[in-house]
Structure formats: C-alpha cells, structure tokens
C-alpha cells in the first residue's frame, strides 16, 4: 500500500543522488505503477494542488486536473518529474523564440506514465479524459517561491506567474462539477 511519508522520504533521499531527477523518476515509476495504492492514498476527487513537501531544494505536490481542464502555458525554471496515476495529462510544449513562444510538440501521459521536464521547458497542460486526473509532481526547487512566467493562452504574451491565480483557477474548475 502506498505510504505518503515513505514516498516523500524516498524522494528526499533520491534528491541527494548525483542525478537526482533520474533517481526521482525511479521513485515515481514505483509510486504510479498499477497496484501501488497511490489512488487510494491520494484520491483525485477535486481539482487542486496539495503540498506534500516543500523546501528550497525539492517540492512534491499532488496535482488533480478536472475533466477537460486546460492550464495556460507556463514555465517552472527548475526540473520537474511528473507521474500520472489516474486520468491523463496532455502536455503541449513551447520554446522561446524572438517575439514570444513557438509550439514545439507535445506528450500524452496516462496512468503509470512518468515524464521528465528540463528547467527551461514551457508547457500547457490539458486533461483530455472524463475523469479527474491524479498526478504526483516533483520539482527540483521551491515551486511556490521561485519567480516564473505564465503566458496568455491567446497572445502568448509573457507575465510573471501568479500562484494565487493558478490556485483560483483550479477552484473555478471544481465549480463545473457541483450540482
């Protein structure tokens, strides 16, 4: 059965390895493997971000995307490793270019998939499924305090990332499912 404290401890230990992101990938692969119990321990009942561990060197969060939810392009300015345990996360990638962003591919993630993102990645995320998508995200830094950017989804104009705005957006998405 999945144990949140044990998972956090394994990520912290992996973060001390010479290639921390690859070591954390291995921890995430075990965590989101079929039968791991992660969905029972961290049920994806509503869209949101739940902090499991936050420090200057490592952030571990549970992210739940509402069905059909899309989050505008943004960067992290630190590496990220993402593991999906329910639903799906479709990533649209962009690269910086003169005058803004240029689309540069994508990656579909489904349960048991793990994805590595470099510290310069800009991406937008969509849950294309009809269920709440549960994911574990591990970042190589403090996800909540490092200055980052977000981009207008229409114009791709760059602005400072607003964590509070993003959290409000998750709550707005939940409102679509209240009867």
Q: Where are the domains of the chain?
A: 4-175
How many angstroms separate the CA atoms of 81 and 23, rounded?
Answer: 10
* Stretch 100-116: mean pLDDT: 95
Return the percentage of the chain with pLDDT > 70, whole number: 99
pLDDT category at 1 given cuts 50, 70, 90 is confident
At residue 131, the pLDDT reads 97
pTM to 2 decimal places: 0.95
pLDDT at residue number 179: 54
What 3 state SS string does 131-161 have?
A: CCEEEEEEECCCCCCCCCEEECCCCCCEEEC
| E strand or H helix that includes residue 52 | strand 48-54
* Number of residues that this document lists for the chain: 179
Backbone angles phi and psi of 122, in degrees to 5: -115, 130
CATH homologous superfamily, domain 4-175: Jelly Rolls (2.60.120.10)
> For the residues 124-151, what does the mean pLDDT come to?
97
């Amino acid at each position: 059965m999945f144990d949140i404290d044990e998972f956090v401890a394994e990520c912290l230990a992996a973060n001390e390895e010479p290639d921390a992101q690859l070591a954390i990938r291995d921890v995430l692969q075990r965590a989101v493997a079929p039968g791991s119990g992660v969905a029972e321990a961290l049920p994806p009942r509503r869209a949101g971000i739940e902090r499991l561990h936050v420090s200057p060197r490592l952030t571990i969060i549970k992210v739940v995307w509402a069905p059909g939810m899309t989050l505008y392009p943004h960067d992290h300015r630190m590496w990220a490793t993402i593991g999906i345990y329910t639903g799906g996360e479709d990533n649209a990638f962009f690269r910086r270019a003169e005058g803004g962003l240029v689309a540069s591919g994508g990656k579909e993630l489904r349960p048991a998939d793990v994805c590595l993102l470099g510290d310069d990645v800009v991406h937008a995320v969509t849950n294309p499924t009809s269920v709440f998508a549960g994911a574990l995200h591990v970042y190589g830094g403090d996800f909540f305090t490092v200055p980052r950017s977000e981009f207008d989804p229409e114009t791709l104009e760059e602005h400072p990332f607003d964590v509070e705005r993003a959290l409000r957006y998750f709550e707005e998405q939940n409102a679509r499912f209240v009867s």
